[in-house]
Amino acid sequence: MLIAFNKPFGVLSQFTDKGLAGSKRPTLSNYIDQAGVYPAGRLDRDSEGLLLLTDDGKLQARIADPKHKMEKTYWAQVEGVPDDEALESFRKGLMLNDGPTRPAGIQRMDPPEALWERDPPIRYRKSVPDCWLEVRLREGKNRQVRRMTAAIGHPTLRLIRYSIGEWSLEGLAPGEWREASL
């Protein structure tokens, strides 16, 4: 079984909250009632979008393990508007504190159509413009997109994973899931 889930902002990518005692952060169990499925990879609590879950360990490894180089596409709303030089440095790969990143795809994009409102909304500043970027990666360092946009001088305000390989969140509202084809 393979499940495509549109993870809302603030939801943990696990079925239980092993955080602070008494913590009541929302988890996957608030949305998905299928037994025996587990996330194929992670998506930070403050990121939104596609999370795949499966009951097939081999498929889980193929999706999540960076050695398989499955492309992931993200939509990142960033502070400011990166110039062509910043985008080119991103494409070539950047040096982060844990080492270099692989080359990555990036391009400016129009705001995504039919994008849902985030709860809570992002912080807007009248004096600082923002823009949307489409980012394509084939690796998965911790908080990589956020760290890469910050490294080119454009911190991420909102991050949505749109697709993993052939699977996308097309047609899924936040908190909704569906069985996906293998």
pTM value is 0.94
Q: Which of 16-20, 45-49, 78-82, 105-109 has the lowest mean pLDDT?
A: 16-20
Give me the helices (H) in 4-70, please.
57-64
- Judge contact between 30 and 45, C-beta under 8 A: no
Q: pLDDT tens for residues 151-178?
A: 999 999 999 999 999 999 999 999 999 9
Could you confirm whether domain 1-69+167-182 is CATH 3.30.70.580?
yes
Q: Count of alpha carbons within 13 Å of 161, Cβ hemisphere only? A: 31
- Judge contact between 104 and 132, C-beta under 8 A: no
pLDDT band at 130 (very low <50, low <70, confident <90, very high): very high
Q: Is 37 left (phi over 0), alpha (psi -120 to 50) or beta?
A: beta
pLDDT band at 20 (very low <50, low <70, confident <90, very high): low
**Torsion sign across C-alpha atoms 174, 104, 137, 47:** negative
Query: Cα 69 from chain centroid?
Result: 16
Q: Is the pLDDT of residue 108 over 90?
A: yes
How far apart are alpha carbons 172 and 155 in whole angstroms?
Answer: 27
Of these residues, 44, 55, 56, 130, which one is catalytic?
44
How far apart are alpha carbons 24 and 41 in whole angstroms?
Answer: 22
Residue spans of the domains in the chain: they are: 1-69+167-182, 71-164
- Judge contact between 37 and 180, C-beta under 8 A: no
% the chain with pLDDT above 90: 79
Fold observed for domain 71-164? Alpha-Beta Plaits (3.30.70)
Name, in order, each residue with C-beta under 8 angstroms of 112's C-beta and a sequence gap of 6 or more: 75, 132, 160, 162
Q: Is the pLDDT of residue 22 over 80?
A: no
Whether 98 is catalytic is no
Q: Which of 42, 39, 43, 7 is nearest to 26 (CA)?
A: 7
